Amino acid sequence: MAKELIKGNEAFAEAAIRAGVEGFFGYPITPSTEFLEHMAKRMPELGRAFVQAESEVAAINMVYGAACTGKRVMTASSSPGLSLMMEGISYIAGTEVPVVVINVMRGGPGLGNISPSQGDYYQMVKGGGHGDYFPIVLAPASVQEAIDNIALAFDLAEKYRSVVHVIADGNMGQMMEPAELPPMREIPTESPPWAVTGAKGRDPNILTSIYIDPVDEEVTDLRLLKRWKEVEKNEVRYEEYEMEDAEIAIVAFGTSARVTSSAIHDAREEGIKVGLFRPITLAPYPQKRLAEIAEQVERILVIEMNSGMMLDDVQRVVQGRVPIEFYGRMGGITPLPGEILDEIRRVAQNEDEVEGDPRNEWMARLEKSILGGK
Amino acid sequence: MSNAEIQVIYKRPESLTDLHTTYCPGCTHGVAHRLVAEVIDEMGIREKVIGVAPVGCSVFAYNYFNMDFVEAAHGRAPAMATGIKRVLPQNTVFTYQGDGDLASIGMAEIMHAAARGENITVVFINNAIYGMTGGQMAPTTLPGMKTTSSPYGRDVELAGYPIKMAEILSVMEGSGYVVRRSLHDAKHIRQAKKAIRLAFETQERGLGFSMVELLSSCPTNWGLTPQKALEFVEERMVPVFPLGDYKVNAELETLKV
């Protein structure tokens, strides 16, 4: 199939349709709305379920119910919507049913704005809902990668009976770029053995997240943890760019990684040996490879569109082997390649140790640049 | 009649398991469960029914019904039922919810399920109190009624008035069958069973949303004996929550069950 020029959100939605999604339940929210609109048009054409719910709370619980039947089902939303969905996501995780949730992140906290952000890192990667569970989190950096990750997300969700988040940001949802959609997958006719489909000729199936005896809950939580260990072993994904001889490693994901690649190209022309390490799975985090990189490079620069959330994970993995610096933009601002190039130049010349929180110096510089030193 | 021809005239419905319930003595949940189970048996639909349990005293309903079941988050049963019914339209889907679940935290979900004309059946247990958490004020608590969170009696000036769900849901165009019945005596229990049957028939015929509100007793949290609690339903609850048919699709009016 040939590449076509396609808008992010519509591409993600069509990718889900081609991956065999049988139910979509959602609520309009910028900057993810085109996802829902595409589903509203396409799902009825194919005789599949589409409901515009009364809220994100209802939407995720419709997804929850439909997932209990063993069908491929999903929702897509944006940051404030995800906050509302966290109740349902925790129940889904506790019930061990496969669900795919797309978050096209926007600036926050609160109502924030509709500009692209990566400020939901903690919420999406560290759990977000209550209790002991571990979502799988994929962070694509292009429309094509998002298309590929959506099919992967369904496979992972079913393999591990897990919640899988695909997190993009407003840039990826809204931009158009050439991409190739996969062929239509056939919808399986068999239901998984645990699904509720009506107890015809078998014992009833019961799907619940309640384990009133703490011993049973601990057994369940241990099962989830052991399954997570399998995910950590099998499903780590990342990409490296210009890393072979790199002395500075930039760690970034999604859109900030993409902007960083252009800056790296320019920095290399200036003779700075800099490369990019880009986690594709934010959970499980590619910690083994990052630890190896920390042995190879002299300095690490973390770049994010938030206040330094993945920075925590980088610090945890690197454990002081090399100095770590941070550069971020918040509030729905995407850094420009020139800003990142300036950061690379600065880091290349900086031989000082980083004292304390790597964010301290960045905060001072940011304050000066956005408030003009006022 | 010889001994060989002994007929079974009363037995546990196949749609109920033989587990002991966690319900208090004198609580009408057991009656409501049995009525639902008898109706499902009589309609021969047990193998295609999917139930949705609520949060509240009937949180373990899935253990007592002998059929596929899921357990919803508090108030979200109608949304969960919607998700199930939309991907499995040939199955019969029902929720079993209490007053806190349905009329307080789940108000948005129940209203919109009715507005969409979702082909699901809702069994609504209204006992005017939060049972599982130990007797707090519910959205259906009667004016002046004492609970642990309205210790001076429900003051309508501060805590508002009881919510009448059957009346509210009956004005939704998506509703096919919305009625209120009571479980306080044998006659009313028989009427309740007929209503539950009609509610499931509504779904089987694709006539839209169906709900049976059942006035129920909570002797433990009301601080009454089981018998006095049933009298409370009849004397105090029925005047506030009038029994009756609030919405009946014309196609059901001629149906004999």
pLDDT in tens, B14-47: 999 999 999 999 999 999 999 999 999 999 999 9
Which alpha helices (H) appear in A189-333, and where do they start and end? 214-234, 254-269, 287-296, 310-318
Query: Which residue of chain B has the CA closest to A207?
Result: B70
Which positions ≥6 away from A325 have C-beta within 8 Å? A299, A300, A301, A302, A343, A347, A350, A354, A358, A361, A362
- Confidence (pLDDT) at A373: 52
Rounded Cα distance, A10 and A15, in Å? 8
| Minimal Cβ distance to B68: which of A201, A205, A209 | A205
The answer, for A40 touching chain B at a CB cutoff of 8 Å, is: no
Tens of pLDDT, residue by residue over A275-298, are 999 999 999 999 999 999 999 999
State the pTM of this model. Answer: 0.97
- Confidence (pLDDT) at A55: 98
- Confidence (pLDDT) at A370: 86
- Confidence (pLDDT) at A1: 64
Superfamily the domain B10-253 falls into: Thiamin diphosphate (ThDP)-binding fold, Pyr/PP domains (3.40.50.970)
Task: From chain B, pick out residues whose CB is under 8 angstroms from the CB of A93.
Answer: none
- Confidence (pLDDT) at B5: 84
State the fold for domain A4-234: Rossmann fold (3.40.50)
Average pLDDT of the residues in A209-233: 97
What count of CB pairs under 8 Å joins A to B?
130
Mean pLDDT of chain A: 96
Q: Among all chains, which residue has been given the structure tokens 């690649």? A: A261
List the domain boundaries for chain A: 4-234, 239-371
User: Which of A195, A182, A21 lies closest to A102, judged by CA?
Assistant: A21
pLDDT of A251 higher than 70? yes
Higher pLDDT, A163 or A1: A163
pLDDT of A353 higher than 90? no
Distance from CA of B59 to the nearest CA of A (A): 9
Distance from CA of A53 to the nearest CA of B (A): 8
Task: From chain B, pick out residues whose CB is under 8 angstroms from the CB of A62.
Answer: 79-80, 82-83, 86
The answer, for A189 touching chain B at a CB cutoff of 8 Å, is: no
Distance from CA of A17 to the nearest CA of B (A): 15
Distance from CA of A149 to the nearest CA of B (A): 24
The answer, for A55 touching chain B at a CB cutoff of 8 Å, is: yes
pLDDT of A315 higher than 70? yes
Give B62's pLDDT tier (boundaries 50, 70, 90).
very high
User: What's CA B35's distance to the chain center, in Å?
Assistant: 10
Note whether B84 contacts A69, CB cutoff 8 Å.
yes
Asked: is A239-371 a CATH 3.40.50.920 domain? The reply is yes
Tens of pLDDT, residue by residue over B167-209, are 999 999 999 999 999 999 999 999 999 999 999 999 999 999 9
Task: From chain A, pick out residues whose CB is under 8 angstroms from the CB of B62.
Answer: 206, 208
Q: Using CB atoms and an 8 Å cut-off, which of residues 206-235 of chain A contact chain B?
A: 206-210
Q: How many CB atoms sit inside 10 A of residue A334's CB?
A: 18
- A4-234 with A239-371: one CATH topology? yes
